[in-house]
Amino acid sequence: MKYTLIFSFSVVAALPLVIFFYPGVSIPWKQLTGSIGTDTATVERQLHTAAGFHVELFAGDLPNARWLAVTRRGDLLVSQPKHGRVSLLTADGDGDGRADGQRVLIDDLTRPHGLFLYEDWLYIAESDSVGRVAFDHSDGRLAGSYRKIVTDLADSGNHWTKTIAMGPDGRVYLTAGSSCNVCVEEDPRRAAMMRFRPDGSNFEIFASGLRNAVGFDWSPKDGALYATDNGRDWLGDDFPPCELNRVEKGGFYGWPYANGDRVPDPDFGVDAGREVQRKIANSIPPVHNFPAHNAPLGITFLRSPTQPADYRDAALVALHGSWNRSVKDGYKVVSLHWDEQGNIRREDFLWGFLGEDRKEVHG
């Protein structure tokens, strides 16, 4: 029986794909995106995996695919924000390793990005709202009308995507990035993590100072909430680092006043007044740094007990890759491994999205 991790890639790779490990069960992993035209030959020629894993193309005609969720029947839901829709890929029933079919599940949405399934509901994070609709897992159909439960979210400027997930406390968690490279936001819901009840009530700011925390997940080992975060641009090739933060309720994580481990920002932190200095001193530093401009997005912890010992409770993180850098870097998936003292080791897990000419692989 195959152990299956499902990825989708856009900026790094331009292909949705499936990674197999034997034996085990199927779980989803969320992020990055897909494009059209990727072929099996390109996947086999260009992409490389950590020992014990193998990569195969699952579906190649999903332009701008972003976030994934797997139904109880094994069908795959995929958000496509630039097309305003969520599509459904039918599970591989004939054993050829490819999706058996594809259809639009719901459309006419406003740049849908994050999504998840909870009980008999499909939750979707549009750029300006969060909605939900009853979902029938048995046949992969909507079983009611789509209704927005959180509205009036700001989606102007640089980072319009919204990511959502159901937390272990039964609350829906939502992240929204900043409207700019670096600025003081007027709307406290930007550059922040929020949470609310499944019906949209009791909306609150959970943490702030997170410039663009696209991905987050809870560790199966200690229950801690970890979120990736993209560092700001235009401070050189190697600063500031991108971040992995352990997110706590009420925590402030530095942006826009500080970068990395409380390093004052040259625009908003250096020579700042006493109040800003206090904010910097009280900010929570990252627990792990990624190289500058690698832009970590999706993160998922591996939960199956059949994982290889070294991957048990490890996390996979997708690195979007760098645009604001003289030499491209990132464009891969890495694994994070915690030791007993809480130290984090990073290793390459899936790579090959940049060719020898440093151009992105698009099949």
Is pLDDT above 50 for 44? Answer: yes
Overall pTM > 0.85: yes
pLDDT recorded at residue 7: 64
Is pLDDT above 80 for 6? Answer: no
State what percent of residues in the chain have pLDDT above 90. 77
Which region among 51-55, 109-113, 238-242, 353-357 has the lowest average model confidence (pLDDT)? 353-357
Average pLDDT (28-46) is 58
Average pLDDT (258-280) is 97
Residue 28 vs residue 226, higher pLDDT? 226
Reported confidence tier of residue 5, pLDDT bands at 50, 70, 90: low
State what percent of residues in the chain have pLDDT above 70. 87
Write 206-209 long-range contacts (CB < 8 A, 24+): 206/173, 206/247, 206/249, 206/250, 207/247, 207/248, 207/249, 207/250, 207/251, 207/252, 207/253, 208/251, 208/252, 208/253, 209/251, 209/252, 209/253, 209/254, 209/255, 209/257, 209/283
pLDDT recorded at residue 359: 58
Is pLDDT above 70 for 356? Answer: no
Reported confidence tier of residue 12, pLDDT bands at 50, 70, 90: very low
Given the DSSP bridges, would you call strands 3-9 and 26-28 parallel, antiparallel or unpaired? parallel
Residue 31 vs residue 141, higher pLDDT? 141
Is pLDDT above 90 for 285? Answer: yes
Which region among 52-66, 227-241, 288-302 has the lowest average model confidence (pLDDT)? 52-66
How many Å apart are CA 332 and CA 54, to the nearest integer?
15
Contact 224, 218 (CB under 8 A): yes
Tally the residues of the chain. Answer: 363
Q: pLDDT by residue (tens digit) across 311-325?
A: 999 999 999 999 889
Is pLDDT above 90 for 330? Answer: yes
Residue that the structure tokens 């030959």 belong to:
41
Reported confidence tier of residue 42, pLDDT bands at 50, 70, 90: confident
Average pLDDT (30-55) is 70
| Third-level CATH fold of 3-351 | Neuraminidase (2.120.10)
C-alpha separations of 214 from 29, 282, 321 in Å: 14, 23, 14
pLDDT recorded at residue 353: 84
- Label residues 2-11 b or e (16+ Cβ within 10 Å = b): ebbbbbbbbb
Average pLDDT (264-274) is 97
DSSP 305: T
Average pLDDT (67-77) is 95
Reported confidence tier of residue 305, pLDDT bands at 50, 70, 90: confident
pLDDT recorded at residue 8: 61
Is pLDDT above 90 for 259? Answer: yes
* Every domain of the chain and the residues it spans: 3-351
Reported confidence tier of residue 20, pLDDT bands at 50, 70, 90: very low
pLDDT recorded at residue 28: 39
